[in-house]
Structure 1
């Protein structure tokens, strides 16, 4: 919480000097109600977090402080408010509302971690601070785009994107018994071949 408050102070001082708007009508750090502040963020398909109106979105301009990322992504959830539907997700911190849009999914898995003989997928560049248990049998590739997905937190939409670098590594271990125009049927991970389950993905998309 102290880290987030310190970061909040930085934002307030920054936006006293910079007032920027996008196609969506907002001002970073705006206060629509007494003691309420609103900020706007963007997550790219590699899982990096930026201020939404940053002109350059690359490794130099993304947020890198791992403890901040842990707090931010632990708070992220579907935006069920009536404010800024263009931003489908929100991360709340006390009286701050952090609205979030993304290229695909807010949770983006970056690499595999091993801990106590269990495998995890780390996400959004926070290393061990943000991870979810890896379920190899639930890796899913969407044939139309080639993008790869894995289950994520229900509060954040239940589906997480696998970043392209890791997805390419996984793709070498796919088997397509139904043809390459359909999702892969098998995935081999550390010598074990799994029959892939796709129903979880389609059930979530049907509900959505």
Structure 2
């Protein structure tokens, strides 16, 4: 059993001493930083392929956000790895885990998530910027409007799935995320630990 699988409740002590409990986190196998986009995904795939073939995989990220679908894609890669190989995947958030970074974090179980001290998570609603031009026969205009409405409705369902995954196993009700996300919800590392959103802060 590796260190992060221990279920001991984090104690009220220094971040330095807590870090000693999780030596695996000192050298992440995959280190991601910057905008979550297809370039990050390519980097993620390259580092994942170079990781050891056995044992837990530690993924560290620092990001101000980006494409939530790329974040979901990276999360799915790790879910499949867990299910096909039964290997542990551990999340380490550093400095900023904003927007799509929180979406990526949601793909890890809460007891496999860690933050460095001073790190902040930011959760918000998806943002849509789109101009709709109405032109053509009336029925086709209606169909076009309905297509855009369906896109928005589907995006909301995906967003809510992500929110539920983020707080599953924590002390945070899904309804709290719904209420606070529109105004950009910032969560400090220690608060995230106290809410059960991550296992510990190092």
Question: Is the shorter-chain TM-score for this pair beyond 0.5, marking a shared fold?
Answer: no
> Which structure carries more relative contact order (alpha carbon 8 Å, separation 6+)?
2
TM-score where L is the length of structure 2: 0.28
Structure that is richer in strand per residue? 1
